[in-house]
Amino acid sequence: MVRWTGEIKPDEPEVIDVGDGKEETVSRRATLFLSSGSFLLSLLFLSQNITGNVVGGFSTNGANWIGAVFFVMAIGGFLFYIFKRK
């Protein structure tokens, strides 16, 4: 018969120092918020039936350009958020 007289020590968890991640979290949330807002604005400007071009007096061509710029900004922001998340 074998007797063991030592202590059983649990495996020590590996400690990983990630630093202060608060700034990164705020930056990611701000990027996501601004991208979402930009996407909503692009939908507002690209759909002529909702606004009717009454609010800003934009022509159809001008409103489409503004909507396209907001859409590109939204896509860029979403891609930036996804790549920073990994």
Q: Give the mean pLDDT of 39-65.
A: 74
- Sequence spans of domains, the chain: 43-50+58-86
Q: Give the mean pLDDT of 1-26.
A: 65
Q: Give the mean pLDDT of 55-76.
A: 83
Backbone angles phi, psi at 54, to 5 degrees: -85, -35
Q: Which pLDDT does position 6 carry in this prediction?
A: 66
% of the chain beyond a pLDDT of 90: 23
Q: Give the mean pLDDT of 74-85.
A: 90
Number of other residues whose CB lies within 10 A of the CB of residue 54: 7
